């Protein structure tokens, strides 16, 4: 099923006039490392641009410093000598609606399953955490609606294949894991194992570092907000579908100014507000 502007407009979560930050979606992002600090920054930007009421980042001090310089609204939770213990403490105190885990995470990705088992809440799982799941063969905790967001290389590793059918791989991985799966590509496929959506928005300028980090943040925010309206699995499917479509629309608006070759991930974040306005007209 092709995602349309009408689908987005009908299902996009509106912010109520009498709402406040604590009920507009709380997202805890676990991302970033010394060599991939920008991934966390882009996660946070994507989440805030999509209406999350509160976004917290758990990461190492270097990443925290880079993030607050760019996104001063972010709540910051430093990780130092005992990161897993600290993350568990932050989950208890912050009480997020959704986790976003894996972008630029590097070595800490080995704790992905331990974090998910402890949190017992919905999560968007990307990048380093997907690589860990593929290599370690770790099984996701049952009965929790996760969203997996692999690119083609990660999908091959997750399915343990040298080649995949891009039109059916998301559905296959969803059936295998019980998660909603989003396969990024020229056409992005999103499936819960039964229903599959296709996003045809976007352009080849997205084939560049950082664009997936923004997407993970966008989906995390939409997921946290949609959980107020739908059950977990439906919220996960709609968040992934609308997130992919919005991300592509923002990239298309960006490319009109920069061209596809010069498009940067940071440019996309600045076009998310205009893309949302256009889609809700």
Q: What is the mean pLDDT of the chain?
A: 96
Whether the CB-CB separation of 126 and 154 falls below 8 Å is answered with: no
Task: Determine what percent of the chain falls in helix, strand and coil, rounding each to the nearest 5.
Answer: 55, 15, 35
d(CA 250, CA 254): 6
- For domain 5-11+24-280, is the CATH number 3.40.1190.20? yes
Q: What is the pLDDT of residue 147?
A: 98
Confidence of residue 157 (pLDDT cuts 50, 70, 90): very high
d(CA 265, CA 215): 10
Q: How many CA atoms lie within 13 A of 200 on its CB side?
A: 5
Instruction: Give tens-digit pLDDT for 8-36.
Output: 999 999 988 888 898 999 999 999 999 99
| Short-list 191, 189, 160, CA closest to 175 | 191
pTM reported for the whole predicted model: 0.98
Instruction: Give tens-digit pLDDT for 111-133.
Output: 999 999 999 999 999 999 999 99
| Domain residue ranges in the chain | 5-11+24-280
The contacts of residue 51 (CB under 8 Å, 6+ apart) are 13, 15, 24, 25, 221, 222, 225
Q: What is the pLDDT of residue 139?
A: 85
Whether the CB-CB separation of 263 and 255 falls below 8 Å is answered with: yes
């Amino acid at each position: 099923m092709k995602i349309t502007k009408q689908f987005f407009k009908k299902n996009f979560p509106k912010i109520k006039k009498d709402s406040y930050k604590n009920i507009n979606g709380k997202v805890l992002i676990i991302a970033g490392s010394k060599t991939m600090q920008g991934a966390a920054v882009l996660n946070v930007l994507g989440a805030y641009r999509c209406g999350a009421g509160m976004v917290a980042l758990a990461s190492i001090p270097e990443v925290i410093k880079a993030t607050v310089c760019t996104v001063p609204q972010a709540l910051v939770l430093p990780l130092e000598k005992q990161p897993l213990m600290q993350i568990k403490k932050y989950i208890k105190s912050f009480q997020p609606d959704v986790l976003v885990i894996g972008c630029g995470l590097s070595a800490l990705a080995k704790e992905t399953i331990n974090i998910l088992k402890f949190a017992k809440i919905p999560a968007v799982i990307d990048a380093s955490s997907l690589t860990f799941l593929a290599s370690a063969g770790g099984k996701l905790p049952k009965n929790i609606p996760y969203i997996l967001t692999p690119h083609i290389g990660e999908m091959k590793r997750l399915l343990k294949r040298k080649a995949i059918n891009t039109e059916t791989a998301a559905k296959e991985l969803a059936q295998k894991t019980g998660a909603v799966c989003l396969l990024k590509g020229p056409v992005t496929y999103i499936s819960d194992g039964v229903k599959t959506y296709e996003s045809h928005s976007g352009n080849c300028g997205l084939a560049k570092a950082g664009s997936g980090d923004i997407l993970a943040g966008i989906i995390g925010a939409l997921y946290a907000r949609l959980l107020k309206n739908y059950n977990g699995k439906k919220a996960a499917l709609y968040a992934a579908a609308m997130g992919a479509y919005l991300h592509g629309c923002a990239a298309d608006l960006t490319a009109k100014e920069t061209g596809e070759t010069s498009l940067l991930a940071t440019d996309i974040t600045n076009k998310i507000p205009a893309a949302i306005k256009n889609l809700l007209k």
